[in-house]
Amino acid sequence: MFNWIDWAVMAGYVLGLAVLTVYFQKKASQGLDDYFLGGRSIPWWALGMSGMASQLDMTGTMLLVSLLFVLGPRGMYVEVRGGLALLMAFAMVFHGKWNRRSNCMTVAEWMEFRFGKGHTGEIARLLQAFAIIVGTVGSLAYFIKGSGLFLSIFFPYSPMACALVMIVIATIYTTLTGFYGVVFTDLFQSCFILLAVICVSVAAFKLVPNHATLGALAEAVSGNAEWAKITLPGHVDMPKAYVAFEQMALAVFYYLFFTVMVGLSRSGGKPTYFGARNERECGTLSLVWILTSAIRWPLIIGFVILGIHLIHEMIPDTAVLVQVADAVKGSVAGAQAHNWGQIVSGIAAHPEQYAPELIAKLQMLLGADWPEKLRLVSFHGAVNAEQVLPAVIYYSIPAGVRGLIFVALIAAAMSTFDSQLNMSAAYFVKDFYQRLIRPKAETKELIRISHATCIVIVVLALWMGYYAKSINDIWGWIMCGLGGGMALPALLRWFWWRFNGYGFAGGVVGGMVAAVLQRVLFPAWPVWYSFPSILACSFVGAMIGTFSTKPTDEETLLRFYKTTRPFGVWAPYKKQLDPQVVDRIDRENRNDIIALFFAVPWQFLLYWTPVQLMMKAWPAFWVSLALLLVCSAGLYWFWYRNLPKTNSNPFGEAA
């Protein structure tokens, strides 16, 4: 499958990682600030490029390809829930700089900055750290599930065995090099990603004669008669694996509501922002992050177009796949949605270990090349859309280029994994181990504990990834389950002075317990049932915690407001400031709020417009381009030209 050029590209990639690991290991061991934040000395453009690489993950790309394969461009509406990363617009306009002004190292440390150093701040800090570590385990399980499915197409091993090899490599260089390694290996890996985007986009663009022809072919392959349409429908008939999206307009409404809540509450809390050199660079690194992330969408729709042509050639009659799935379920005991990938890859790689009657039936239904086609069959008897991406690379990309694209997606996966792992280790070391267990621990000990933490988190993620039904299943719960449990208390801490640490704790506990119970008791609930229920439980917990305890002390609240300067309900503390200072703060916040109404549609259009271009949907493309230019002008006027030179401070104090 791979020729010598492919193997040379892979060898060059591994060698480059090894060199970077050795070089940055020494720098990362100088102190915790160096290990977790790169000494706050890394240039903004490097942080922005690193963010792009860490966001363009393999599993997410597989999921997005599967959604657009099934839904067409409407799949982008669904990914308002997270795949479009619209949270970045909020981080770019104001949340990044708000977090940087605190001078903290983690969001959990920030909790004491907001709620004080007493019991209320301590509880909020520990709960924040715990919630983020749990969320990281879920995110890494999502990564592991998708990586295993991807790699099992190329190698004769189970998805979990394939994923294990990759995460061992990523864990080694992440634990040794810290944030320095995360950023600069991401930059190195970005080169492979960019080359892959060019190769796939050009090849796919050449295959599209016009928009109508592409839509007709996609309808034949996916069974979706409205594949080429771009309007948001109220209802769409979906395959069984995607029934949660049948009431599409309702689902998208809730996803958008959730995105706004999360964007307003916790969009700028990544190590990238705490590690920026100043608050201006929080804005510019976000701009680079969003702009460079636009390359992801020509890549995704390119894979979709190539996949449509590939499936049409390999399986002209997709109706036969129902019989294939039934044959496997009838022959293999214990076949379920969560282990389906393991089973079909096992049958394809080692047919001699299965019943001869099953193999004979698969040959009859799928033909002589049944092992290749079997990997594309879903548990529900349709095309397994989550396997379209690896199938395209395996069958549609010529040798030589195949190695480049393979490595680019491996690089994207590594970039996501390393940043998540580094962040979760920082939370455990700073907010649990150093704070509660060994306050006087030296730097070397803390870094060793960080290494051990990484290993434990990876093991837990492996377990969760094995039992998940699909990558879409994990992603939906992470975003609207765990994320929904955190959304309300995370929002109130910024915009309401009376909200205290006990209120935060009550909101998080109420929301997280509701999210776990929903997952266990009502796993099939659509988002319009699960999200409001989780939000309601979180709200009750937050109000009980807030009003049954005293407010945060005046000194802490005034220091927080003077330093952060957010908009919201802060009247008691605004009254204590000079009117001219308040006017400057209000003017900044007013510009930020107006800019946000340009920034969110600007980011969506930045990703939507290339998709229309690739599909040759010319009327939609020209309208999207015009709207993009209007939003760009508004964003420049209300946001970019008002960026501070370094760190703004209306009090005239040292920043």
Whether 476 and 363 map to the same domain: the answer is no
Domain that holds residue 438: 4-311+399-642
CATH number at residue 180: 1.20.1730.10
- 27-62 b/e (C-beta count within 10 Å ≥ 16 → b): bbbeebbbbbbbbbebebbbbbbbbbbbbbbbbbbb
Using 50, 70 and 90 to split pLDDT, how confident is the model at 165? confident
The three state secondary structure string of 64-99 is HHHHHHHHHHHHHHHHHHCCCCCHHHHHHHHHHHHH
Instruction: Please report the pLDDT score of residue 437 as a whole number.
Output: 83
Instruction: Please report the pLDDT score of residue 47 as a whole number.
Output: 75
121 belongs to a structural domain: yes
Instruction: Please report the pLDDT score of residue 654 as a whole number.
Output: 40
Instruction: Please report the pLDDT score of residue 216 as a whole number.
Output: 93
Q: Does 307 score more than 90 pLDDT?
A: yes
Report the distance separating Cα 36 and Cα 275, nearest Å: 8
> What are 268's two structure tokens?
């700028």
Mean pLDDT along residues 150-154? 75
* Cβ-based burial of 16 (10 A; exposed 0-12, middle 13-18, buried ≥19): middle
Mean pLDDT along residues 277-285? 89
Confirm if 488 and 538 have CB atoms less than 8 A apart.
Answer: yes
Q: Does 652 score more than 70 pLDDT?
A: no
Instruction: Please report the pLDDT score of residue 170 as a whole number.
Output: 65
Q: Report the DSSP beta bridge partners of residue 544.
A: none
Q: Does 473 score more than 70 pLDDT?
A: no
Mean pLDDT along residues 453-475? 68
Range among 232-241, 293-302, 513-522 with highest mean pLDDT value: 293-302
pTM: 0.82
650 belongs to a structural domain: no
Q: Give the phi and the psi of residue 598 in degrees, each rounded to 5.
A: -90, -35
Of 401, 392, 213, give the one whose Cα is nearest residue 314: 392
Close Cβ partners of 402 (under 8 Å, ≥ 6 residues apart): 1, 2, 6, 393, 394
Instruction: Please report the pLDDT score of residue 391 as a whole number.
Output: 87
Q: Does 25 score more than 70 pLDDT?
A: no
Q: Give the phi and the psi of residue 383 in degrees, each rounded to 5.
A: -65, 130
Instruction: Please report the pLDDT score of residue 347 as a whole number.
Output: 93
Whether 346 and 405 map to the same domain: the answer is no
Q: Give the rounded percent of residues in the chain with a pLDDT score beyond 70.
A: 84
Instruction: Please report the pLDDT score of residue 137 as a whole number.
Output: 77
593 or 167, which is more confident? 593
In residues, how long is the chain? 655
Using 50, 70 and 90 to split pLDDT, how confident is the model at 35? very low
Least confident of 13-27, 292-306, 432-446: 13-27
316 or 594, which is more confident? 594
Instruction: Please report the pLDDT score of residue 340 as a whole number.
Output: 86
Mean pLDDT along residues 75-99? 89
Q: What is the mean pLDDT of the chain?
A: 82
Least confident of 136-150, 426-440, 496-510, 566-580: 136-150
Whether 414 and 511 map to the same domain: the answer is yes
Q: Does 241 score more than 70 pLDDT?
A: no
Q: Cβ of 156: how many Cβ atoms within 10 Å?
A: 13
> What are 554's two structure tokens?
């005046």
HSE toward the beta carbon, residue 647, CA cutoff 13 A = 18
Q: Does 564 score more than 60 pLDDT?
A: yes
Q: Does 358 score more than 60 pLDDT?
A: yes
* Cβ-based burial of 394 (10 A; exposed 0-12, middle 13-18, buried ≥19): middle
Mean pLDDT along residues 99-119? 85
Instruction: Please report the pLDDT score of residue 607 as a whole number.
Output: 95
Whether 111 and 233 map to the same domain: the answer is yes
Of 49, 28, 53, give the one whose Cα is nearest residue 38: 28
> What are 359's two structure tokens?
């193999």
Whether 329 and 278 map to the same domain: the answer is no
Confirm if 264 and 494 have CB atoms less than 8 A apart.
Answer: yes
Report the distance separating Cα 242 and Cα 69, nearest Å: 12
56 or 93, which is more confident? 93
Instruction: Please report the pLDDT score of residue 454 as a whole number.
Output: 79
Instruction: Please report the pLDDT score of residue 414 as a whole number.
Output: 65
Whether 592 and 463 map to the same domain: the answer is yes
Close Cβ partners of 115 (under 8 Å, ≥ 6 residues apart): 121, 124, 125, 493, 500, 501, 504, 552, 556
Q: Cβ of 281: how many Cβ atoms within 10 Å?
A: 25
Whether 420 and 559 map to the same domain: the answer is yes
Confirm if 330 and 461 have CB atoms less than 8 A apart.
Answer: no
Instruction: Please report the pLDDT score of residue 21 as a whole number.
Output: 64
Confirm if 361 and 377 have CB atoms less than 8 A apart.
Answer: no
Mean pLDDT along residues 125-134? 78
Whether 284 and 324 map to the same domain: the answer is no
Using 50, 70 and 90 to split pLDDT, how confident is the model at 448? confident
Instruction: Please report the pLDDT score of residue 655 as a whole number.
Output: 40
399 or 643, which is more confident? 643
Report the distance separating Cα 362 and Cα 348, nearest Å: 10
Report the distance separating Cα 607 and Cα 625, nearest Å: 11
Whether 240 and 361 map to the same domain: the answer is no
655 belongs to a structural domain: no
Report the distance separating Cα 372 and Cα 382, nearest Å: 15
221 belongs to a structural domain: yes
Least confident of 193-202, 418-427, 549-558: 418-427
Instruction: Please report the pLDDT score of residue 114 as a whole number.
Output: 93
Least confident of 47-51, 67-71, 437-441: 47-51
SS3 at position 566: coil
Q: Does 627 score more than 80 pLDDT?
A: yes
253 belongs to a structural domain: yes
336 or 290, which is more confident? 290
Range among 294-308, 416-430, 462-476, 477-491 with highest mean pLDDT value: 294-308
Whether 21 and 67 map to the same domain: the answer is yes
Instruction: Please report the pLDDT score of residue 525 as a whole number.
Output: 77
Least confident of 435-449, 548-562, 580-594: 435-449
C-alpha to C-alpha distances, 525 to 233, 237, 243, 262, 483, nearest whole angstrom? 21, 18, 11, 21, 16
Whether 287 and 326 map to the same domain: the answer is no
390 belongs to a structural domain: no
Whether 246 and 215 map to the same domain: the answer is yes
Number of domains in the chain: 2
Using 50, 70 and 90 to split pLDDT, how confident is the model at 152? confident
25 belongs to a structural domain: yes
228 or 403, which is more confident? 228
Mean pLDDT along residues 600-606? 96
C-alpha to C-alpha distances, 340 to 412, 468, 609, 655, nearest whole angstrom? 25, 11, 36, 56
109 belongs to a structural domain: yes
Q: Does 350 score more than 80 pLDDT?
A: yes
